[in-house]
Structure 1
């Protein structure tokens, strides 16, 4: 069987893992578990191709435990029983359970006692948020770790490693890849290393060598193999970020035609996840309280786009870009929170006033916790004068209303009314 490059390049030791240094770097939690041989069940969640399976296989390789892989959606209870029997004989087994959020109750009930005893060390993998999608019974018996999309540098490192590795990778081929092709291959997959490796393998194996026996991989070949166009053929790739920046600045400046132009360039490059993230940032950073319903419509349009995929996704995306362009603008929220953070980071914060502290425990009253708190709902218009900010910041002001939209204008009037009462 012809195993794909992404499978062959899977790490067998922790120190071979690309990225995720917040978990597997020196002194970090998973590295500590492996070094101390104190493994516990865990759930790894994050986007596809970020290393969930790689971390599981590397943990097994570094600890010499038996390693088995199952899928919670397609494998049945009998498959789990086989793993449990093996664990009884060998002592412990690391079980990578893909799509762990789809684990049904019978399989869950079977697994729980084995997790409690440590006979099965579960490594659940999912792209879903485990705090929402995974049952509390499993969640309470596992540590939860979030994996981040890999950086362009991380993916380039992995691609170069695959090109040089003669045993597992493509080192036996004589490959020459241009800088812009490597950059596009590492960037266009949005942090998904598996997709980048798949694209590289297809490019190399489907390209005939030249007269000198060298396989020349160009940007055009990479674009065809991953089915994503580069925004431009510039070597350094600055245009990718320039277009994202131009999209936001054009929307902020209410230029509909320029915004649609830059959106079109991102659509042509197939960067749906980049577009989605940037539009949500714009909706809250640049439109904000001037038109909060625009943010809701943005989220709805992005959800529709992700379900539709390209080419149809262009329709809701264009709709919301026009909406955001012509909406009133306000940046009062980002200015307010950044001002508050600046005070906190410069050490101006102090203790929470006693009357605001938690009083739901025995002995709180003796410490004067919550004793003099005034419950606003017991007063006219649900407002009563009392101190909320810490002593050092009693006169701090962070929010300055913007009057460009009807909604924030109404908030500004209420804000002014409250301030006058103070």
Structure 2
């Protein structure tokens, strides 16, 4: 794969029944009791695909019985009485800007259903593909981005973040699979070849539109509409100087690039900040693989310093630029890891309790929501579901989580079927 490729996720199929909507009807009634206050304009989701260990990050248990806590120590945060794992010293300094939810839980212990649940806020259902939160936000914020030629949903890259689901492939993320930490990084598809003149490009676009229009008139379909939107958005991006500038890391100073760290995670986080500045509503950042079934501690020692440095810089940078108030940063994976090491010195999947970090977008920092038991195995206080997390994200964006949106099959389906506002994040 070329380091300069810009790709889109392929068309996603829709299959299976949707079941009764009575629960959604109840949700709509209940959701109307919460007025949606748009404290946030944009979201950066830092997606740690594979499931990072909460014990070696935001919920360390150094004195856990049976050695469950592992060999790593802790580091004090700016929150009285709260420590992070020693792997996160920079985030510990920024903890007054962070809210840590230690008691997120569900019962989907495999990757695909866990990712589907945590990325959509809807419990996994075989045969049905719920849209990701990014797709929903992008759809609901499309007018804002359409005005400036920018995509509504960008994934850096799109591994594990899913797409438009039953809303249709038109709402899949614009995926940048190339590595911005490499010298000469450039999203090549944003820049037409110099050998093609502007008038020739215009003729090509007109011909393409004419063919699509005729085809759609003869064989209308949601898939055809999705392709049309893809194509139109691609042309808008290519023709937008603002979009090209947003993806150009060379416009950043060398000092700023060093602050984020020159590794792939740091540079993707810096690129995410540039996209937020350009008014992209939703950006997902992914890097590395977090399914550490073996050699967990040495592998985390390799990966976490880049995440710690890049994330801490992102939160501080957004705040100093006046963007943190309107930008919600969410750090999550599909689940955590077992409270005991396996025979390969790794930890296996564990969805009974794990941590999610939220900052900005109207969320109050310097707090921890919920408490787990001595082994970080189960919630003791304030359990939080994926539905609750997504309900709160939508609430802060001013999006009614009980709203019904049309699927490609013609059925109206609620954004969420359940969920409560996490009041402690906002008070």
Which structure has the larger Rg?
Answer: 1
TM-score range, shorter chain: under 0.3
Bigger fraction of residues in strand: 2
TM score, norm. by length of structure 1 = 0.21
- Structure with greater contact order relative to length (CA < 8 Å, sep ≥ 6): 2
